[in-house]
């Protein structure tokens, strides 16, 4: 399962041009606490969060995550998208709340 | 890496500069990766140094992140000018944070930074003088100690 498959199945909108949509997704981590993600997310996972500020890109780069899904109709800040472009991090947004996005992704990644 | 020679350098950190937060740790991560240090070690260094960098940005006025890499270890020292830490034992407790609400809304201030640094280091030291600043020293061994 790669990032593009998940974008399609969850009807996400990709906000970045340079991220690697072919990248294999190895799991998912859900948290809005950045230190928690630093401590517990694993390489190759998608990260579901409400956070929209530029520091999420640094976290995604340092943890080598597969991409970030921002939920609940939130939009990433301008500076966040610029940094995501510089670093090649994929950001996708969802209109749905975290529970729904996480629940669907859980089902998809189980099979 | 050729033994005996140390690779060293430093980065300046500015308190409150959230826009560039993580730049020093990302750069150091690239340096370590390019030195051929194993992924598992680089990962630990990235977590520890990013949390330490964030603490300078969140809690202090300005600081320097200095690194020294030898064949045996990665040593990173963060020295800041800032309020200092009155009770280091308390600050080390998981969940303890003095970060204001707007920092918490960004997802920082969970009080996990110092514990994360300690967990990912082989040696970890914090020294602080209230009203002057804080020094954090992180050592991660590259070579397994001989049994
Ligand atoms: N460099 C520093 N300068 C001043 N205070 C600090 C510094 N680093 C940590 N602290 C203090 O220690 C507390 C705990 O730090 P930490 O575990 O990183 O959690 P957090 O940064 O989420 O608050 C901080 O809230 C702050 O009071
Ligand atoms: Mg901290």
Q: Nearest CB to A55: which of B22, B46, B110?
A: B22
Q: How large is the average pLDDT for residues B14-29? A: 96
Q: How large is the average pLDDT for residues A30-40? A: 97
Taking only the tens place, the pLDDT of each residue in B69-99 is 999 999 999 999 999 999 999 999 999 999 9
Predicted confidence at residue B145, as pLDDT, reads 53
Predicted confidence at residue B143, as pLDDT, reads 79
Confidence of residue B48 (pLDDT cuts 50, 70, 90): very high
Confidence of residue B1 (pLDDT cuts 50, 70, 90): low
pLDDT of residue A36 exceeding 60, the answer is yes
Residue A41's contacts (CB-CB under 8 Å, 6 or more residues apart) are A29, A31, A47, A63, A65
Instruction: Show the domain range for B111.
Output: 7-141
**Which residue of A43, A44, A51, A62 to mutate against B (max B Cβ within 10 Å)?**
A62
Q: How close is the Cα of A74 to the center of ligand 2, in Å? A: 25
Confidence of residue B5 (pLDDT cuts 50, 70, 90): confident
Closest Cα to residue A95, out of A39, A13, A6? A13
Phi, psi of A90 (to 5 degrees): -80, 130
Q: Which residue of B has its CA nearest to A42?
A: B43
B59: Cβ below 6 Å to ligand 1?
A: yes
What is the share, in percent, of chain B residues with pLDDT greater than 70?
95
Domains of chain A: 3-110 (3.40.1390.20)
SS3 of chain A: the string is CEHHHHHHHCCCEECCCCCCCCCECCEEEECCCHHHHHHHCCCCEEEEECCCCCHHHHHHHHCCCCEEEECCCCCCCHHHHHHHHHHCCCEEECCCCHHHHHHHHHHHHHC
pLDDT of residue B147 exceeding 60, the answer is no
Question: CB distance from A39 to chain B under 8 Å?
Answer: yes
Tell whether B59 is covered by a domain.
yes
Q: Which atom of ligand 1 is nearest to the CA of B80?
A: 1
Confidence of residue A85 (pLDDT cuts 50, 70, 90): very high
pLDDT of residue B2 exceeding 80, the answer is no
B97: Cβ below 6 Å to ligand 1?
A: yes
Taking only the tens place, the pLDDT of each residue in A68-84 is 999 999 999 999 999 99
Q: How large is the average pLDDT for residues B53-81? A: 98
The best mutation among B91, B115, B125 to test binding of ligand 1, ranked by most ligand atoms within 8 Å of the C-beta, falls on B91
Question: CB distance from A49 to chain B under 8 Å?
Answer: yes
Tell whether B2 is covered by a domain.
no
For CA atoms A68, A18, B20, A95, the dihedral sign is negative
Tokens of A17: 């041009």
Tell whether B127 is covered by a domain.
yes
DSSP string, B28-75: HHHHHHHTT--HHHHHHHHHHHHHHHHHHHHH-SEEEEEEEE-SSEEE
What CATH number corresponds to the domain at position B62? 3.30.565.10
Question: CB distance from B53 to chain A under 8 Å?
Answer: no
Taking only the tens place, the pLDDT of each residue in A1-15 is 999 999 999 999 999
Contact B19 A79 (CB under 8 A): yes
Tell whether B147 is covered by a domain.
no
Question: What ipTM was assigned to the predicted interfaces of this complex?
Answer: 0.92
Tell whether B75 is covered by a domain.
yes
Instruction: Count the domains in chain B.
Output: 1
What is the share, in percent, of chain A residues with pLDDT greater than 90?
95
Q: How close is the Cα of A24 to the center of ligand 2, in Å? A: 31
Taking only the tens place, the pLDDT of each residue in A43-59 is 999 999 999 999 999 99
Tell whether B69 is covered by a domain.
yes
Asked if A18 and A36 count as a contact pair (C-beta separation under 8 A), the reply is no
Q: How close is the Cα of B114 to the center of ligand 1, in Å? A: 7
Distance from the B16 Cα atom to the nearest Cα atom in chain A, whole angstroms: 12
Q: How large is the average pLDDT for residues A17-30? A: 95
Over chain B, what is the mean pLDDT? Answer: 95
Tell whether B135 is covered by a domain.
yes
Tell whether B32 is covered by a domain.
yes
The best mutation among B51, B112, B114, B135 to test binding of ligand 1, ranked by most ligand atoms within 8 Å of the C-beta, falls on B114
B109: Cβ below 6 Å to ligand 1?
A: yes
Predicted confidence at residue A111, as pLDDT, reads 72
Q: How close is the Cα of A23 to the center of ligand 1, in Å? A: 36
């Amino acid at each position: 399962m790669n990032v593009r498959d998940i974008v399609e199945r969850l009807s996400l909108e990709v906000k970045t041009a340079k991220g690697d949509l072919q990248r294999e997704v190895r799991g998912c981590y859900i948290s809005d606490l950045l230190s928690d993600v630093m401590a517990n997310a694993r390489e190759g996972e998608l990260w579901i969060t409400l956070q929209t500020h530029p520091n999420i890109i640094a976290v995604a780069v340092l943890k080598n995550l597969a991409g970030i899904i921002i939920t609940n109709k939130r939009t990433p800040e301008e500076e966040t998208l610029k940094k995501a472009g510089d670093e090649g991090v994929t950001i996708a947004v969802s209109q749905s709340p975290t529970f729904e996005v996480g629940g669907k992704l859980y089902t998809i990644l189980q099979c | 890496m050729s033994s005996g020679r140390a690779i060293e350098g430093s980065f300046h950190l500015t308190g409150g500069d959230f826009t560039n937060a993580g730049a020093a740790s990302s750069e150091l991560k690239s340096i370590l990766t390019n030195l051929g240090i194993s992924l598992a070690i680089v990962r630990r260094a990235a977590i520890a140094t990013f949390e330490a960098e964030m603490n300078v940005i969140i809690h202090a006025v300005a600081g320097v992140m200095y690194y020294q890499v030898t064949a045996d270890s990665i040593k990173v020292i963060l020295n800041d000018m800032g309020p200092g830490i009155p009770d280091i034992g308390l600050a080390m407790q998981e969940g303890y944070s003095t970060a204001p609400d707007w920092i918490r809304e960004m997802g920082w201030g969970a009080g996990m930074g110092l514990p994360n640094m300690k967990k990912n280091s082989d040696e970890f030291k914090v020294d602080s003088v209230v009203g002057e600043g804080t020094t954090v020293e992180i050592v991660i061994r590259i070579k397994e100690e001989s049994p």
